[in-house]
Every structure is written in structure tokens, then in C-alpha cells.
Structure 1
Amino acid sequence: MTSTEAERRLAADLLGERLHLIHIRAPEPVRHARDAVRAYRTNPAPDAPELSWPGPEQPALALDTTAPLNTTANALYTFAATALANATSP
């Protein structure tokens, strides 16, 4: 997981074409529901920081958590199969 464009550039420098950025989109209420730290707070402030970063400018794959699970799973499977088929040994 990379949270900033600088971290993504560093990962790209290290991994080259083996790096495949996947962006997973989730609406804010879903992110809040899945935020384990927020869940353990007794009274989280409505404006408490959340785990939210800008997505990559050009992800290799973008998944939407509001899509049906089979749609997301099929997209991920197809992407992984294609990436593996095109992979070259290091």
C-alpha cells in the first residue's frame, strides 16, 4: 500500500514493471465502518482523521467496493491472470 505519489514513485523505481498499482475505491461511510482504529474509539469525533489518501493517477486496475462481489472478483482474477501471463522473470 502506498499513500502518497512519492511513495508510489519509490516503489516504481524499486520494482519497475513488476509494480501494478491497484486502487480500491470505497465511499466514506464504508471506510469509516472498516476503520478498526475508529471502531475502538469510544466517541470518535465526526471530523477525526480517517484512512484516506489520493488514489494513483493511473492505476493498473481500479476496483469499486460498491460493485457486486462477483464483478470485483472477476476483474481482479482477469487482471492477475493477465499480469502473470505477461510477467518476465527477474
Structure 2
Amino acid sequence: MVTSHNMANLEDEIALQNRLLSNMKNSQKGYEEIMLDMETNMDVISNTLLHLRHQLIDSHHQINVLTEENTCLKTLYKSNNNNI
């Protein structure tokens, strides 16, 4: 036999379960938003690192070119000074 007291308890339990479910859904949405933000940030960081890596490679190449040019100019300068 279901009494009005038991019915009220069941209704309270259902209401509590619904609130908990709603809270869980909101938490899940928040978690998904955080994960999406993190994924976006990781993409930006990854692209930035790739760009910086290319810049570093280009800089190393430029250093090598300038070092060779400097060596050639030093040699030319010494050669010209020896001829004077």
C-alpha cells in the first residue's frame, strides 16, 4: 500500500535525482567547454612552435651564410693588406 507519506518521499527522491542529473549535465557541458578551449589553445601553441622552428632553421641558415661571407671578407682583407 502506497501512503501519501511514501508518495511524498518518492516525489522528493525523484526531484533530488532530477537536480543531480541537471547538475551533472551542467558539469559535463563545463568540462566539454574547457576541453574545447584546451584543444584550441594546443592548436595555437603547436602552430606557434612550428612557426618558431622554421624561423630558427632560417636563422641558422642565415648565420652560416654570414659566417662564410665574413670569412671570405677577412681573407680578402688580409690578402689586400699583404699586397700593400
TM-score band w.r.t. shorter chain: under 0.3
Higher relative contact order (CA 8 A, sep 6+): 1
Query: Max radius of gyration: which structure?
Result: 2
With normalisation by structure 1, the TM-score equals 0.24
With normalisation by structure 2, the TM-score equals 0.25
Greater per-residue strand proportion: 1
